[in-house]
Amino acid sequence: MSKDHQVRGVWDKLVNVFLWTFALLVLIPLLFMFTASTMPATEIMKMPYPWISKTFEWQNYWFGLCGADGSFLFIRNIFNSLLVATTVSITTVLLSALTGYGLAKFNFKGRNVVFLLMMATMMIPFEVIMIPLYMVTMNLGLQNTYLGLILPFLTTAFGVFMMRQSLLTFPDEILDAARIDGGGEIWIFSRIVLPNCGPAITTLAILTFRSQWDSLLWPLLVVQTEEMKTIPQYITKYMAETHTDEGIMMAIAVIASIPMFILFFTMSKYFISSNLYSSVKG
Amino acid sequence: MKPVASGERSILSPDERKQKKWSMERKKARWGWIFVTPALLFFAVFSFYPIFNAFYMSLTKKNLLSLKPPELIWFKNYAYLFKSPDFWNSMKATGLFTLGTFFLLVVFSLTLGALIITRKRCKRLLQMVFYSPALLSSVVAALIWLLIFDPRGLANQFLNFLAQTPGTDHNWLASANMLRLSTIIVYFWKYIGYFTIIFVAGMGSIPKSIHEAAEIDGASRWQDFWLIVLPLIKPTTLLVSVMALIQCLKTFSTQYLFTTSGAPTKPINVITLNIYNTAIRDHNIGRASAMSVILFLIMIVLSWMQFKVSKEDTVTYM
C-alpha cells in the first residue's frame, strides 16, 4: 500500500511538472508580445532575446496609434472593429433569444421543420458561401459600409440552438401566470424571459464578440477604403506595406488584444465554465 | 390574481373551457410563428440562398467585375480543377495542415484534460493559461509568431538550445516543410486551450461515484482512464474531433498573413486561400465557387464518417 502511495506521489509530481512546463510554453509567445512591445527594435532582434530590457520604449504605443504616416487611422479602425463586434453581438443575442424562445416554448405546426432547417445551416461554413454572400452584398450596394459588415452575421444557428436549449427548462408556470396577469407576449419576452437567461446570453455575447473581433475574410471582401477597415485588416496591411519597427508591431498587437483581455479577466467564468460545453452538447 | 383565475374557471362550463384553451393554444401558435419568422427569413437570405447559389455558380463562368450574367458551362470548372496542379497543391496543403493540426489538437487536449481533472489545485488557473492564446485574433497570433520564427527569433534560439546546434537557421518561414510546421504550431497554440476546456468539462460531468466504485474494485488510475473515462466521454471526443476537423479545414488568416508578409505561397496555399485569390485576384467566381463546393462536400463527408465511426458501440451511464 505504501509503495502504491509512493508511486502515486512521484506520478503526481511528474504530472505537475508536465502541466506547468506546457503552461509556460503556451505563455512564452504572450510574454514575448508584452515584453517586446516596450523595447527598441534593436533589442528585440538581439540573440539571445533579452527578456527584461533596460530601456522602456513607451513611445512604441504612441507610434503604433499614430500609424506610419501619423494619420491615426488605427484608432478609426479600432472603432470600426468595436462597433461591428458589439452590434453583431447584440443582434445575435436578441434574435437568437427570440427564435430560441419561439422554438422552445410555443407549439405550432411545422416547429420541428423550422428547427431542423435552422440547424442544417450550422453545417454550412461561412467560407463556402462567402462568394454568393459577397455578390448579394454588392447587389444591395452595401460594399464598404457598416451594414455590409454586419448584415450577414445578424444571428447564427449556433446561437438559436444555444438559447433554445437553455429556455427548454424555463418554467411554463411563470409564463402562464404572466399571461393570466394580462402580459402581452412581447412584454413577457422582454421583461421575464430575457432577464432570466443571463448566463446563456453572456456566454453567447462573448463568443460572438470574439469571433467578430477575429474576423478577417469578410472585411477583406467587403471593405475597400482605409477608413472602413477593421483591426485584423489594418494589421495585415501594416505588415505587408511597412517593414517597420518590431517593437511598434508588438505594441499594435497588444492594443488590438486589449478588449479581449478585459473581457477575459472580468468574465473568465463564462470562458472557462462548463456553460459553453453544456450548451453545445445540449 | 389567483382568485380571479379560479373564479373565471368556475363560471365556464367544461365545453367553454375547452374552447377557451383551444383558442389560447391557437394564439400561442401564432406567436410562435411571429417569434421565429425574422430568423427564418434571415437564414433564407443569408444561408440557404447562398449555398444553392454557390452550387449554381460553380456550374457557370462569371467574371467578378463584368456585368454580364453568368454563362452556364456545367461541369467544366470541376473538370478544370481536377486537372489543375494548383488545385491539387491546395488540396495537399490543406490535407497536410489538417492532418497534423487535427491529431495534435485532439491528442493533446484529451491528455491535458485528463491530467488537469486529476489536479486538486490550480485547475482553473491552468485552464485559463491554456486558453489565453485564444483571446488573440488570428492575425495578432500570426504577427507574434512571424517574429518568433524570424531567423534571429526565439524559435531558432529555442531549437538550437535543445538540439545543441548553436547558430543554425532552421528556415522556419522559408523551407516548405518547416513553413507547414510553422502554421501548424501557430494553430495548435491558438486552439489547444479551447478544446482542453471542453474535455475538462466533459470529464467533470462523469459522476464521482463511478470513479470511487472503480477504485474500490482495485482499478489503477491508468485503468480508470482507459476503461471508464475514455468510453464515457465518447460524445465529447466526437464533438471535439468534428469541431477541430472543420476548424482546420477552414483555416485562412494564419496562411494569409504569412504569405502577405513574404513567406512562399505554394506550401501553405490552403484551399480557402486559393478560393479567396481565385475570386478576388483572378476575378474567377465560377472556379472559386467550384472549389467552395468541393470543400463543403469534403467537410460533410468527413463529419458524417466520424459520426458513423462513433455510433458503433455507444456507451451510456445512467
What is the 3 state secondary structure string of chain B? Answer: CHHHHHHHHHHCCHHHHHHHHHHHHHHHHHHHHHHHHHHHHHHHHHHHHHHHHHHHHCCEECECCCCCCCEECCCHHHHHHHHCHHHHHHHHHHHHHHHHHHHHHHHHHHHHHHHHHCCCCCHHHHHHHHHHHHHCCHHHHHHHHHHHCCCCCHHHHHHHHHHCCCCCCCCCCCCHHHHHHHHHHHHHHHHHHHHHHHHHHHHHCCCHHHHHHHHHCCCCHHHHHHHHHHHHCHHHHHHHHHHHHHHHHCCCHHHHHHHHCCCCCHHHCCHHHHHHHHHHHCCEHHHHHHHHHHHHHHHHHHHHHHHHHHHCCCCCCC
Task: Give B209-250 pLDDT, tens digit per residue.
Answer: 888 888 888 888 888 888 888 888 888 888 888 888 988 998
Query: Which tops the pLDDT comparison, B249 or B9?
Result: B249
**pTM of the predicted model, to two decimals?**
0.87
Nearest chain B residue to A240 by CA distance is B261
Q: What is the pLDDT of residue A9?
A: 83
Among B231, B276, B141, smallest CA distance to A128 is for: B276
Q: What is the pLDDT of residue A63?
A: 86
In this structure, is residue B205 part of a structural domain? yes
Q: What is the pLDDT of residue B318?
A: 42
Q: What is the pLDDT of residue B3?
A: 45
Task: Give A27-72 pLDDT, tens digit per residue.
Answer: 999 999 999 998 888 888 887 888 888 788 888 899 888 887 778 8
* Pair (B11, B155) in one structural domain: no
Q: Which residues of A touch B112 (CB under 8 A)?
A: 19, 22
Task: Give B69-126 pLDDT, tens digit per residue.
Answer: 888 888 999 999 999 999 999 999 999 999 999 999 999 999 999 999 888 888 889 9
- Closest CA of chain A from B202, distance in Å: 8
* Pair (B53, B81) in one structural domain: no
Q: What is the pLDDT of residue A278?
A: 47
Q: Quickly state the pLDDT bin for B174 (edges 50, 70, 90).
A: confident
Q: Could you give the residue ranges of the DSSP H alpha helices within A72-125? A: 73-105, 111-120
**Is pLDDT at B5 greater than 50 in this prediction?**
no
Q: Which residues of chain A are under the pLDDT cut of 70?
A: 1-4, 242-243, 273-282
B140–A257 C-beta distance less than 8 A: yes
- Interatomic CA distance for residues B220 and B227, integer angstroms: 10
* B residues 77-96 lying closer than 8 A (beta carbon) to A: none
Query: How much is the average pLDDT of B22-32?
Result: 82
The domain spans of chain A are 2-64, 69-281
B43–A157 C-beta distance less than 8 A: yes
Domain count across chain B: 2
A99–B54 C-beta distance less than 8 A: no
Q: What is the pLDDT of residue A258?
A: 94
Tell whether A140 is within 8 A of chain B (Cβ).
no
Q: Across the interface, which of A45, A124, A253 has its CB nearest the CB of B47?
A: A124
Q: Across the interface, which of A131, A217, A274 has its CB nearest the CB of B288?
A: A131
Q: What is the pLDDT of residue B235?
A: 82
Q: What is the pLDDT of residue A243?
A: 64
**A69-281: which CATH topology?**
MetI-like fold (1.10.3720)
* Pair (B105, B21) in one structural domain: no
In this structure, is residue B62 part of a structural domain? no
Query: How much is the average pLDDT of B192-212?
Result: 88
| Pairing of β B60-61 and β B71-72 | antiparallel
The ipTM, to two decimals, is 0.88
Among B95, B75, B73, B94, smallest CA distance to B83 is for: B75
* Pair (B135, B255) in one structural domain: yes
Q: Across the interface, which of A124, A128, A239 has its CB nearest the CB of B143?
A: A239
Query: Which tops the pLDDT comparison, B19 or B1?
Result: B19
Nearest chain A residue to B242 by CA distance is A123
* Pair (B38, B186) in one structural domain: no
Q: Across the interface, which of A46, A106, A274 has its CB nearest the CB of B32?
A: A106
Q: What is the pLDDT of residue A109?
A: 87
In this structure, is residue B67 part of a structural domain? no
Nearest chain A residue to B118 by CA distance is A12
Please give the residue range of the domain that contains residue B272: 77-311
In this structure, is residue B72 part of a structural domain? no
**Long-range contacts made by residues A67-74, C-beta under 8 angstroms, separation at least 24?**
A67/A238, A68/A238, A68/A241, A68/A242, A68/A244, A73/A226, A73/A227, A73/A229, A73/A234, A74/A234, A74/A252, A74/A255
Interface size between A and B, measured as CB pairs under 8 A: 279
Mutate: best of A131, A188, A210, partner B, most B CBs <10 A: A131
* Pair (B234, B289) in one structural domain: yes
Q: Which residues of B touch A210 (CB under 8 A)?
A: 134-135
* Pair (B138, B272) in one structural domain: yes
Proportion of chain B above pLDDT 90, given as a percent: 45
What DSSP character marks residue A191?
I
What average pLDDT is seen over chain B? 87
In this structure, is residue B99 part of a structural domain? yes
Q: Which residues of B touch A102 (CB under 8 A)?
A: 31-36
Range with the largest mean pLDDT of A172-181, B32-41, B164-173: B32-41
- Interatomic CA distance for residues B101 and B188, integer angstroms: 6
- Interatomic CA distance for residues B6 and B25, integer angstroms: 19
Q: Across the interface, which of B157, B205, B303 has its CB nearest the CB of A49?
A: B157
Report the CATH number at residue B120: 1.10.3720.10
A124–B51 C-beta distance less than 8 A: yes
* Pair (B43, B106) in one structural domain: no
The gap between the terminal CA atoms of chain B, to the nearest Å, is 42
A22–B112 C-beta distance less than 8 A: yes
In this structure, is residue B316 part of a structural domain? no
B296–A278 C-beta distance less than 8 A: no
Name the residue type at position A118.
M
In this structure, is residue B8 part of a structural domain? yes
Task: Give B275-317 pLDDT, tens digit per residue.
Answer: 999 988 899 999 999 999 999 999 999 888 888 877 665 555 5
Query: How much is the average pLDDT of B188-209?
Result: 89
String of b and e for B106-139 (b: at least 16 CB within 10 Å)?
Answer: bebbbebbbbbbeeeeeeeebbbbbbbbbbbbbb
Give me B250's grid cell. 477552414
